[in-house]
Structures are given as C-alpha cells and as structure tokens.
Amino acid sequence: MTRSWVFGVALVLAGCGPHYTIPNYETNEIEKVISSGRSPQGCIENLKEDAKELRVDVRLVDVQHLPSSGPISWIYSNSYTCTGKVYNK
C-alpha cells in the first residue's frame, strides 16, 4: 500500500503537461515540438529530450509562463511551455 502511494505522489509531482508535435501538412513532417516544465530551464531540458526521442534538431522559439488557477494547482501542473522549431533532421 505504501509503495503505491509513493508512486502516485511521484507521478503527480512529475507533472503531466503538454508534450506534442505540430506537423507541416504539406510535407507531412514534424514542424514544431511543444514541451512543458516547472521552470524555464526544466522546460528547455524537456524540449531537448523530446527532440532527441523524435530524432530531430530543434531551435527554441518561445517560452511561455501559464499561471496556475487554483490554490494548490501549482503542485501538479507544469506552468512553462516551450516551443521549438525543427530545423534539421
């Protein structure tokens, strides 16, 4: 019971934010990669990891801070979103 509780807390604290791609519909290739993190540096690191998994090179285009809504939502949400444009495969 304790082990599953610890796993659940770790999963919530890890955050489940946006990690997705935007395709170029003309070429059907990945154009942008979107990642999230708890800090600007964490967001950029997650973007690099996502790009590495997708086997593409990205250039950071935008970092946005999305304020959390609610008294304790900051605990389980990633408030920074990074956008990277694919420039080389």
- Look up tokens 């690191």; give the residue: 45
- Cα 53 to Cα 14, 33, 86: the distances in Å are 19, 11, 13
Domains in the chain: how many in total? 1
Where in the sequence is the domain holding 49, given as residue range(s)?
2-88
Predicted confidence pLDDT, tens digits, the chain (89 residues): 455 444 344 344 444 455 888 888 898 888 999 998 888 999 999 999 999 999 999 999 999 987 766 666 656 666 889 999 998 75
pLDDT of residue 12: 41
